[in-house]
């Protein structure tokens, strides 16, 4: 427990890497599940930071410590910033995950649930409905048959369909659920510490958390290119309004492009906090030896 179960947590994070879930990027709900899992992992780190902060410098000791040594203010400020930035990153990842639900690409699996109940079931979406070019001025389709099927190499595809009659196919890979274990593993490790944690041990713990955060950044970055390649296509559908999903794509790509750097910034802030704590510990040890 002295290093926050770092090896276990890193193994849990490694299980979330893109190469472990290659099928996820091929469906809208798979992409949503992947980014939701990453958001859950970031939330675990975001909640572990203040828990560790309080284990090292309990609130009842804060005023006395900061009055005697201003470096405690620096340490506490860094920990607050790291936690806040992690919360922002988790929110951004969660927002990107929601956007993925409204972003179906050509030849992706969908479920038809429209008024033609005898045709309910799973299909592949062929692409832009040809009636898209036949909208009248009110925005309504004036020729859409509602459903047109064809056989292609992948199976039965929808070549014409009311967008409101389809939804993304379910994604059933449960391996991404390991993300839920990250927060409990970190918080249990903090709770098991003998508190308050001395400065020297505390510095090592904060460094361990920084290492975990760096690994999390690498895992997030592993998804950026696979998702980009999947959604950077000429046609994307938002089934909610029947229009293009380019706005959703921009949000997802922007989040993935910046998430790795955001995680690295959090790691750097934690390492700075650990360095400050180490200097406090060195001075304490010097005084004790004098």
pLDDT at position 289 is 65
Residue 169 has pLDDT above 70, yes or no: yes
Per-residue pLDDT averaged across 37-65, rounded? 93
**156 has which bridge partners?**
151
pLDDT at position 131 is 61
DSSP line for 132-175: GGGB-TTS-BSS--SEEEEEETTEEEEEEE-GGGEEEPP----G
Return d(Cα 132, Cα 141) in angstroms, integer. Answer: 7
Q: What percent of the chain has pLDDT over 90?
A: 64
pLDDT digits (tens, 9 = 90+) for 5-31: 999 999 999 999 999 999 999 999 999
Quote the Cα angle for 130-135-138, to 5°: 160
Local structure of residue 197 (DSSP, 8 states): P
Who has greater pLDDT, 19 or 61?
19
Return d(Cα 231, Cα 228) in angstroms, integer. Answer: 5
Query: Does the predicted TM-score (pTM) go above 0.95?
Result: no
Indicate the Cα dihedral angle 140, 234, 90, 266, nearest 10°. Answer: -150
Q: For residue 138, what are its two tokens? A: 């009110």
Per 3-state DSSP, the chain is made up of helix, strand and coil in percentages (nearest 5) of 65, 10, 20
Tokens 């001075």 locate to 283
pLDDT digits (tens, 9 = 90+) for 93-135: 999 999 998 899 888 999 999 888 989 999 998 876 666 554 4
pLDDT at position 136 is 46
Residue 139 has pLDDT above 50, yes or no: no
Helix axes 246-289, 199-231, angle to 10 degrees: 170
Residue 81 has pLDDT above 70, yes or no: yes
Residues in CB range of 290: below 8 A, 6 or more apart? none
């Amino acid at each position: 427990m002295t290093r926050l179960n770092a090896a276990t947590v890193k193994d849990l994070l490694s299980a979330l890497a893109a190469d472990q879930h290659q099928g996820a990027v091929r469906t809208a709900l798979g992409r949503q599940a992947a980014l939701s899992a990453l958001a859950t992992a970031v939330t675990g780190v975001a909640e572990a930071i203040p828990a560790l902060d309080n284990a090292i410098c309990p609130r009842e000791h804060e005023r006395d410590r900061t009055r005697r040594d201003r470096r405690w203010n620096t340490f506490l400020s860094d920990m607050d910033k790291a936690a806040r930035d992690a919360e922002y990153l988790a929110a951004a990842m969660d927002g990107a995950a929601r956007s993925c639900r409204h972003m179906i690409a050509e030849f992706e699996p969908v479920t038809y649930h429209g008024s033609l109940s005898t045709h309910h079931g799973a299909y592949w979406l062929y692409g832009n409905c040809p009636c898209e070019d036949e909208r009248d001025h009110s925005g309504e389709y004036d020729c859409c048959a509602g459903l047109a099927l064809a056989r292609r190499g992948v199976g039965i595809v929808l070549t014409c369909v009311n967008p409101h009659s389809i939804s993304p196919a379910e994604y059933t890979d449960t391996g991404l659920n390991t993300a839920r274990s990250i927060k409990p593993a970190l918080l249990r490790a903090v709770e098991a510490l003998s508190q308050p944690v001395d400065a020297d041990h505390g510095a090592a713990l904060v460094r361990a958390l920084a290492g975990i955060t760096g690994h999390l950044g690498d895992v997030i970055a592993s998804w950026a290119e696979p998702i980009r390649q999947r959604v950077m296509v000429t046609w994307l559908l938002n089934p909610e309004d029947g229009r293009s999903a380019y706005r959703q794509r921009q949000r997802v790509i922007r989040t993935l492009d910046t998430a790795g750097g955001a995680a690295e910034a959090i790691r750097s802030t934690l390492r700075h906090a650990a360095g400050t704590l180490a200097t406090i510990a060195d001075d304490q040890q010097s005084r004790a030896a004098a």
